[in-house]
Structure 1
């Protein structure tokens, strides 16, 4: 791979491009590029992580990153195809800007020969009056093209329609490209595939105003093998903030990747090369039960985001839950995070004995089925086989004075919470 664009293509990170041949030539020399992140939540999620890793690959190839946190655009929000965004308070958005800046910074080098820079579009947007925006920027836009944007068209066709603020979002983002071109000589923007309309609007604006050729490309959104959106669990978005998605849950999310997709995920979110990934894909075909590729994926991404110690703790917790390690050795935060991923049952009226807890947790369909599981030696509390199903949990069995792990068979688990209600 002689050009970073070749690597991005091989990794499945190159979608639409304004002019791929011209971009390939431009990337043969160091250039300045940007990617934007709007503070519409208190944390980045794994979709943003993909964009950050693209920025890191470009920087490693000698290009200078501008990572923009949208203190201005985050006050409005890119139009959703389905409904109007809820506008957040300016102070809330400002707080989120600082949080996102702290999350972004570790993924690029802010020093050295290809030093990156964190920028905030509020710095220049707040200096413009409404008249400035309309005269200097808005006059270059044609409403017909703005209406053709996919999300805008979808909203226009809906009963709700679209408000002027969201409709004008692409004008603000295009102005960001122009401003970054003026300030830092930026000649490339990339973003998710849902940003194509905004990216081309910015390219067109720079062409019109600065009369300079600039470039843009999209990164395909990460999807599952069936084409559905990747990045959410039953409990919601997978965040990079450990307070919102624990390192254990983060590790488990990647570990559960399906066989048909794991090779693609390895290309996108790890630094493993063609030979390593090809070997892991062969292992998936030949020894699917070993889940070698999934374990490599979960290790690499969790270590990248949360550190190697978090991987060790997550792996130890998973092993302990399934009887291959000591539950008592897990510290309280790790245990709590691991048990949060399991069905929960509280000790209380109607669920005090092991049989009652097995039934109440759903591990057994009924109390009689729970008794059969105990009799067959297939019921466990904290990985110890249950002998008397009618016995109540002893306080000495509780982990960190509060929890116990129920297991039926080898892999069916539930968490018992004995905290007073």
Structure 2
């Protein structure tokens, strides 16, 4: 079949229609996809640059799941510490409540002591028993809380009031404290606890329902008065258990148990920062930027050092010791909470930065490939008009050719 011969005018208009149809198809594709670069054929440079930017944005976006888990893990730990702090605050409150219920055990409450010159002077932990109060080396002090329940201290040069307090507290069993000069009675040490009151008086309390007495060998009555004891307050009859303090001690123990349970329950997604676990948050796709967060163990025994309620909180010293333990624990909890809070703030900053960076990369890729929909819409209208004009022009050219046929009519 031989080729069809078209006139120059018709062929020119036909080519114009073909070009217009191609441009219209291209514009329709841009309008339907919203992109001016849909393949490497459209613009290789922009296409591959945009693909690289979108790829990195996807990698960074994938990191957000891990960062989000890190945020939740830290929040779980912070919630756990906040709950433990509330428990410790409650324990402090009931310990102070126990202080408000006076001890009913036997106790030796020292009078306002005097120095060697007879001047009333508050005792201090470093007050020297020899040079400050007038004892002589070799004098002895004996604390007795019943048959064969004695603690005997032999005074030596350089001994202080704190040494005396420690000797009484450390020798409530059958073993003597090394280097204190203490000799234990025939059965075991006295069931007693000693402490200094805020106004500088020596307080010695029985830990059970036994009577209590303090005696001296070698030291004169004047010297004993310097320590705060005389015939009026050197012995007390047997006391009794304070049921209010016993009940509070039971509450204290239950709250103490709850601390361990709260610490164990503060995990998230298998990681518990309150049980010593380590959390690593990765911040970039090359794994060269990260934050490692080391957890802390918060057990009551080893870490917070909150001991069980000694002697059911029957002595004031037991309560004061418990309050000291709780103060130490509270300080540690607040410090750890601050550390977790700082780490949480940092991870949240990196989380927001990662979100913004991923968005920046996507916007950059879009700038390279997205079409201007207003421009493409205007192009489509122009092409439709152009196509209509081309069809009219082709029709006119065809009419010119038909005029030749009429010559043969």
TM-score range, shorter chain: under 0.3
Q: Which has the higher contact order (CA 8 A, sep 6+)?
A: 2
Q: Normalized against structure 1, the TM-score is what? A: 0.20
User: What TM-score do the two structures reach when normalised by structure 2?
Assistant: 0.20
Which of structures 1 and 2 has the bigger CA Rg?
2
